[in-house]
Structure 1
Amino acid sequence: MSVVTEGIDDEEFIGDETEAERQARLETEVVLDQTSQAFVDQIVAKMLVIVDEVSGHPLYGYQRPFAARMIESLIINDGATLTALFSRQSGKSETVANTVAACMIMFPRLAKIFPELMGKYKEGLWVGAFAPVEEQADNLYGRIVARLTSEHALEIMADPEIDDTVHGRGRSISLKRSGSLVRKQTCHPRATIEGRTYHLILIDECQGADEKMVNKSIGPMGASTNATMVFTGTPSYEKGVFFKQIQINKRQATRRGARQNHFDADWKEVSKWNENYARFVKKELLRIGEDSDEFKLSYRLMWLLDKGMFTTGERLDDLGDVSMQAVHAYHKSPVVIGIDPARKQDSTIVTAVWVRWDQPDEYGYFEHRILNWMDLQGMDWEAQYFRIVEFVRNYNVLAVAVDEGGVGDVVISRLKVLLPDIEIVPLGSQRPEQSKRWKHLMELLDRGLLSWPAHAYTRRLKTYKRFRQQMEDLEKKFEGPYVLAAAPNAADAHDDYADSLALACVLTKDYTMPEVEQSNSPFR
């Protein structure tokens, strides 16, 4: 089997890596050729059959991709950190327990058949089951033990080709002949964690896990084995290691060829597979209310963060127009354009926005629609200028707003020469100017006067994925009377698309409405 650790096209990656980070990524990414991937897929498919046999019932449709990715990560040894955000009592711990039990039984046998691929499990699969407190750790550990000691599992282990038995009790349990074991431990910040070694590290109810404990004490337990880590839980009021890893996994998923490392299933998705679950949650919806904190956290998978987010994923879903594709040229009425020039670790983003000039609402706000984005990443400025001009000339442009901070002054001067017939509007980076445009963007979002292309084809585009992820990441900050927004302080987090959009939209706040023909929206 050929396992290649070559990087894929750097154009698809967010260009904020240091050379050391880039080199580390290239050396650790696991990319399989087509034949090898097909072979791994066959093993995963057969393992899923064993998972169903061990549990006594098949996994639901929303559980199966998560279980498959766990198995695949262990097989190809990519050391992935997986996250699963499932609604309460939807079977996330059950999925993990069933999958782990099946792998503990089968992997030592597969290691003998495929020593090059799975040889590190020849002495067993070693699993650490963690949770913030002892009682929560008992829940996950108890489920794994229950699966291993179930009638179905014992029947499988009684097969002459396997011939294994369960041994141990208390904090750990093992399979006597293969050497597989699972041990429960807590990740409470005051706990003293022994220096164990694991192939698979599980952290249940991860929203309550201590970040320092996870990163400093638990993570290194998988260093010598390149362990796979699995974080499961539900949303909470605070950002922690679980939330941050989810955002990392979502951002990485926007890269071409990346494997899916985050999985989620809200109550509506779970209800498609379980009628009893649907009935119960609907009764809870009536009892405590759809907009109650408890329902949002437990069933709608909404993070109620203390710092506050600029918008929510649910709101972004509502505002995206699934019937609209990106519009690459438009001259029927004036549009506005925002340009956020690249700084050292960012991309230059250009956003074209259509405005319904002839129908302001009672407060003077216009309907806005994003027509298209252009992402100029890893390109020198001389080339960027002409790409920007080419993009702008595809539209009937009223004005172009440019952030004059950083290299903005130079960009503005150059564009005034290259686009003499279009007004180039410099917008400051001081807090009052930024607050004005962020407040205006918030108003448009709140009033439902902003939308964008979200057709199935458009959703596959790199520009759409980055726009959506950056809007979902965007944090709202209050500094005195000013409302600001910025990307979180995390790897791969950016706010270039949001900045570019805010720059374009603020042009309509105080701008004199141009003379335009009254017509129906061409995007309806």
Structure 2
Amino acid sequence: MQEIVDEELLTDIVESDETEEERQARVDTEVVLDELSREFVDDITTKILILVDEISGHPLRPYQTPIARRIIESLIIGDGATITALISRQAGKSELVANVTAACMILLPRLAVMFPDLLGKFKEGVWVGAFAPVDEQADNLYGRIVSRLTSDAALAFMSDPEIGEEVIGRGKELRLKNCGSLVRKTTCHPRAKIEGRTYHLILVDECQGADEKVINKSVAPMGASTNATMVFTGTPTYTKGVFYKTIQINKRAGTKRGARQDHYEADWKTVAKYNSNYKKFVSKEILRIGQESDEFKLSYRLIWLLDRGMFTTAEKLDTLGDKSMQMQHAWMKSPVIVGIDPARKIDSTIVTVTWVGWDYPDQFGRFEHRVLSWLDLTGIEWEEQYFRIVEYLSNFHVFAIGVDQGGVGDTVISRLRVLMPGVEVVGVPSDRGAQSKRWRYLMDLMRDGKIGWPAHAKTRALRVWRKFRQQMEDAEIRYEGPNVIVEAPDETGAHDDFVDSLAICVSISEQFAVAEVESSENMFYAA
């Protein structure tokens, strides 16, 4: 299969799937730095990271450094980011946040005097809120920050005449006497009465257990007047909540061109590369409780065991992705099938092209499938979309095209039949029963490994692949009587266009899936 070099030209279409209000909000909050400013911010960030290592007594590990750098960067440029970190148990996530917080509390107020235009908001100190679902967890995070600020290394640094700082501790609050920085611990339990404080940095540890309403209604507004940076850390659990949803938002936002990374993950295997004792302990846990146990999946493998059904899992998607295969934009060796999910309102038109092993049906009459490529027509007017589709599909030996019927789909079917007279264009019914049938068929193919898609390193770096992967991972499943319904979660920025397009595509091959029937003589009816 040939390699296509100019992938961005074909698939990296400008995003336009937001409402006007969302688009304006993004413009109002986006922070774009020129090259000179970027270098300056990087220089300040690096200097603060040096202090992080000094007061902690050990350097950050490779999986911790990018998170630390992003937190510091967000505080400096004031982009008000909500950063999420999903990290294996006892891998140093609270320690990382505490070290970075302590260093920022010490240095940023001093730098604010030198660079008032950029850091003037910290001239009276860095104000930090340390939150957790229950008091004991809040104590853990707060205690670590206090420990860093009162360590011998930190006290020695602050005693320097050029710094001249003192630590004052009082109950649930610790202050730096001269610069005004403070950190305050608070529980974000639903029954707790949270005072209306103001913070530059809001930390929520063990966020998987945090109450979504409390975070959104009571905690987040404490950063409104300062455009605060928020940092959510934790591990997976059995239910969706503010942590899970924020992670998904960050993942989706990360697929956009030029977006900063706001979500980070490190499972036990990543941590074990840099800590031999950790590797030994977790290896013993594999023997003790098993890596397929719920406890191990949640604590070390970072697998969410959700109470609501999901269409598939990240683990299954990894299994079905072919890491030796790149996207193919031309295939004439054998007939392929195509699925088109036409755009409705803010959704995208997605074209999925799939190879089918027609010559080798299994015992149930099903064929092997391999997705060859996707064409994402986000933000393209329909009159232009028709010709983009025809031009793209001219590179393939197309057997049939499936298009979702109803509304826009009927028009697409009519136009493609005129523009591609030599190809069968099939209208795929969109009633609940028909949708359920194709979802079940796709689920069967995925369950039995009869479908796959390109997952080469070069392909995984493409935005179109990331969107496919994110939508597959986001998709939820529910049941309405005998029918299976698969759709995107009811969240901002969540879509299911790639998932729909794939289901429509395989529904074409399902029509030709006929089980082999073996016949034999019946002894009771022998002549």
- TM-score category of the 2 structures, normalised to the smaller one: over 0.9
Displacement of 1:414: 1.3
Corresponding residue of 2:235:
234
Corresponding residue of 1:198:
199
What are the residue-to-residue correspondences of 1:469-488 with 2, within 5 Å? 469-488=470-489
Q: Secondary structure at the match of 1:32?
A: coil
Displacement of 1:363: 2.4
8 Å CA contact 1:108, 1:123 repeated in 2 = yes
The residue type equivalent to 1:310 in the other structure is F
Determine the C-alpha separation between the residues in 1 that align with 2:188 and 2:86: 19
Displacement of 1:12: 5.4
Determine the C-alpha separation between the residues in 2 that align with 1:491 and 1:421: 40
For residues 363-409 of structure 1, give each alpha carbon's deviation from its aligned partner in whole angstroms, at most 9, with x where no partner exists: 22221111111111111111111111112221111111000033111
Q: Does the alignment pair 1:250 with 2:236?
A: no
Determine the C-alpha separation between the residues in 2 that align with 1:439 and 1:45: 52
Determine the C-alpha separation between the residues in 1 that align with 2:497 and 2:392: 17
Please, which runs of 5 or more residues in structure 2 have no aligned partner? 1-11, 515-527
In the superposition, relative to structure 1, how do residues 28 and 50 fare at CA in structure 2: closer, same or farther (>3 Å)? same
Corresponding residue of 2:462:
461
Corresponding residue of 2:504:
503
Determine the C-alpha separation between the residues in 1 that align with 2:43 and 2:258: 20
The residue type equivalent to 2:163 in the other structure is I
Displacement of 1:463: 1.0
Corresponding residue of 2:132:
131
Determine the C-alpha separation between the residues in 2 that align with 1:457 and 1:417: 36
Determine the C-alpha separation between the residues in 1 that align with 2:377 and 2:119: 42
Determine the C-alpha separation between the residues in 2 that align with 1:495 and 1:405: 17
Corresponding residue of 2:109:
108
Displacement of 1:16: 2.8
Corresponding residue of 2:435:
434
Displacement of 1:36: 0.9
8 Å CA contact 1:12, 1:255 repeated in 2 = no
Determine the C-alpha separation between the residues in 2 that align with 1:362 and 1:174: 72
Determine the C-alpha separation between the residues in 2 that align with 1:406 and 1:195: 50
Percent identity, aligned pairs only, is 66
Question: TM-score normalized by structure 1?
Answer: 0.94
Structure 1 runs, 4 residues or longer, greater than 6 Å off:
none
Q: CA RMSD in A?
A: 1.2
Corresponding residue of 2:147:
146
* Greater alpha carbon shift after TM alignment, 357-366 vs 428-437: 357-366
The residue type equivalent to 1:24 in the other structure is A
The residue type equivalent to 2:439 in the other structure is W
Displacement of 1:460: 2.0
The residue type equivalent to 1:397 in the other structure is V
8 Å CA contact 2:403, 2:427 repeated in 1 = yes
Corresponding residue of 1:92:
93
The residue type equivalent to 1:491 in the other structure is T
For residues 292-332 of structure 1, give each alpha carbon's deviation from its aligned partner in whole angstroms, at most 9, with x where no partner exists: 11111110100111111111112212221222111111111
Corresponding residue of 2:8:
none
Corresponding residue of 1:399:
400
Corresponding residue of 1:6:
none
In the superposition, relative to structure 1, how do residues 12 and 329 fare at CA in structure 2: closer, same or farther (>3 Å)? closer
Determine the C-alpha separation between the residues in 2 that align with 1:187 and 1:400: 52
Corresponding residue of 1:4:
none
8 Å CA contact 1:437, 1:505 repeated in 2 = yes
The residue type equivalent to 1:84 in the other structure is A
8 Å CA contact 1:12, 1:256 repeated in 2 = no
Displacement of 1:482: 1.2
The residue type equivalent to 2:293 in the other structure is S
In the superposition, relative to structure 1, how do residues 512 and 62 fare at CA in structure 2: closer, same or farther (>3 Å)? closer
Displacement of 1:13: 5.5
Corresponding residue of 1:219:
220
Determine the C-alpha separation between the residues in 1 that align with 2:227 and 2:392: 45
How many correspondences in the alignment?
A: 503
For residues 461-488 of structure 1, give each alpha carbon's deviation from its aligned partner in whole angstroms, at most 9, with x where no partner exists: 2211111111111111111111121011
Corresponding residue of 1:164:
165
What are the residue-to-residue correspondences of 1:37-436 with 2, within 5 Å? 37-436=38-437
The residue type equivalent to 1:186 in the other structure is T
Question: TM-score normalized by structure 2?
Answer: 0.94
Displacement of 1:14: 4.0
Displacement of 1:418: 1.3
Displacement of 1:15: 2.6
